[in-house]
Amino acid sequence: MKIIDVKCAVIGRNPIVRLVSDVGISGYGQVESYKPYLKPHILYFRDALLGEDPTNVERVMLKIRPRGAFKPWGAAISAIEMALWDLAGKAAGVPVHKLLGGKVRDRVRVYNGALRVPMEGHTPEHYAAEAKRMMDLPEGFTIVKQGIAFHSPMKREVPDYFLGEPATGNFHGWAERGLLTERGMNHTIECVAAMKDVLGDKVGLALDCGPGWMVPDAIRFARAVEKYNLMWLEDMLTGDYIPYVNADCYREVTRATTTPIHTGEQIYLRQNFKDLIEKKAVRVVGPDPCDVGGIAELKWIAEYADLHGIMMAPHGTGNGLLGLAALVQVCATLPANFIAFEYPNGKPDWWYDIVDGLPSPIVKDGFIEVWDRPGMGVEINPERAARYLAAEDRDFFA
């Protein structure tokens, strides 16, 4: 089998890569909705992929992986990797999880992820109301995550929240940093208490915290919320669009508290998790398959983390429905350090009309049943998807 064409179309806001083989089978991969500009990055690798056998996934990846990097190049590599696995699974007539070693669980736990919605305000009362809404979602999540502190408008809405300059405009990725005031710290802790009053011990609470914290504040806050038994505090020091990790600083925080510290969604490749894991700088790692280099890369990191007593909770909020399928396949194969992955959804809603193979409902009691159809187990329906293609992409399914 050989790859005879590499195509990319932006459907909605998600770039979709299609690897076309000479036996009439195609493999698909999806880029986060946050990166609609990624089409040229994917097509850059076209010449490197043509003529390759897509069932030799690692051999192909060895050829292109060194050309990846921090966003957006790592995202392009990741989408191609997932399309390779989809094609390889279809060619073999087995689900991707079989090619990754087979499933060790029949259902995978997820948390609310993309089902978070903007709040009208960021007082303890607003957080309590939103916790109640998330707790009552029909998906029955057993873990919910909420943005707080520097990962929320709280940093601008609360007067004198921190000793730093607030950002202007809405450019995603602005790294606001600074020491919290006593008022800011107290407000943040009160919001956590309000959420836990609602969730109790029925639903676990994780917090997306930054980046932006200074190490002394991160330690103070992590210690102050120890009594609430949080699932984790995410991206306090680095994360999102920060292209470095600062493992030594994370280690200072981790060693000072029993509250689990989490990071990793921005990292490309296993090598860049090495310090975090070997120095035991965090208690939870959260690579995103759409940025880390794909699903096999994520599995390797999960296994290496497990050897060091570190938990795994993959990121995935903007990965779309093909990305959801990829997460289901790989998370079914992960060791017992797997907690849950961040649930992505289809945006806009018409994505659910153009993807075949998803169960209904997708999430039940906080879990997704692992399906066994070949490849990733879902397909874009060309007839229904064609109406959403731009004029320049009309031949995407040809």
- Predicted confidence band of residue 369 (pLDDT cuts 50, 70, 90): very high
- pLDDT for 173: 67
The structure tokens listed for 183 are: 């008022």
Rounded average pLDDT over 125-137:
97
152 touches 166 (CB < 8 A): no
Q: Which helix (H) or strand (E) holds 342?
A: strand 341-342
Share of the chain above pLDDT 70, in %: 99
- Span 3-93+381-393: which CATH code? 3.30.390.10
pLDDT at 211 over 90: yes
One-letter amino acid at 349 equals: D
Residue with tokens 């919290």: 180
Rounded average pLDDT over 289-306:
98
- Predicted confidence band of residue 168 (pLDDT cuts 50, 70, 90): confident
- pLDDT for 149: 97
Give the residue with greater pLDDT, 299 vs 171.
299
Report the C-alpha gap between 239 and 88 in whole angstroms. 32
- Predicted confidence band of residue 167 (pLDDT cuts 50, 70, 90): confident
Lowest mean pLDDT among 34-43, 84-93, 163-172, 308-317: 163-172
Q: Which residues of 135-150 are buried (b: 16+ CB within 10 A; e: fewer)?
A: beeebebebbbbbbbb
pLDDT at 19 over 80: yes
Count of CA atoms in the C-beta half-sphere (13 A) of 145: 30
- pLDDT for 73: 96
- Predicted confidence band of residue 34 (pLDDT cuts 50, 70, 90): very high
What is the average pLDDT value for the chain, to the nearest integer? 96
Coil, strand, or helix at residue 254? helix
Three-class SS string for the chain? CCEEEEEEEEECCEEEEEEEECCCCEEEEECCCCCCCCHHHHHCCHHHHCCCCCCCHHHHHHHHHHHCCCCCHHHHHHHHHHHHHHHHHHHHCCEHHHHCCCCCCCEEEEECHHHCCCCCCCCHHHHHHHHHHHHCCCCCCCEEEEECHHHCCHHHHCCCCEECCCCCCCCCCCCCCCEECHHHHHHHHHHHHHHHHHHCCCCEEEEECCCCCCHHHHHHHHHHCHHHCCCEEECCCCCCCCCCCCHHHHHHHHHCCCCCEEECCCCCCHHHHHHHHHCCCCCEECCCCCCCCCHHHHHHHHHHHHHCCCEECCCCCCCHHHHHHHHHHHHCCCCCCECCEECCCCCCCCHHHHEECCCCCCCECCEEECCCCCECCCEECHHHHHHHCCHHHCCCCC
Domain definitions of the chain by residue range? 3-93+381-393, 99-376
Query: pLDDT tens across 376-396, in order?
Result: 999 999 999 999 999 999 999
234 touches 208 (CB < 8 A): yes
The structure tokens listed for 157 are: 């809405």
- pLDDT for 60: 98
pLDDT at 333 over 90: yes
Q: Give domain 99-376's CATH architecture.
A: Alpha-Beta Barrel (3.20)
- pLDDT for 132: 98
The structure tokens listed for 302 are: 């999960």
143 touches 203 (CB < 8 A): yes
- pLDDT for 157: 92
Q: Which helix (H) or strand (E) holds 298?
A: helix 295-307
The DSSP output letter for 95 is: B
- pLDDT for 12: 96
pLDDT at 175 over 80: no
Share of the chain above pLDDT 90, in %: 95
162: Cβ contacts below 8 Å, ≥ 6 apart: 150, 155, 176, 178, 179, 180, 181, 184, 212
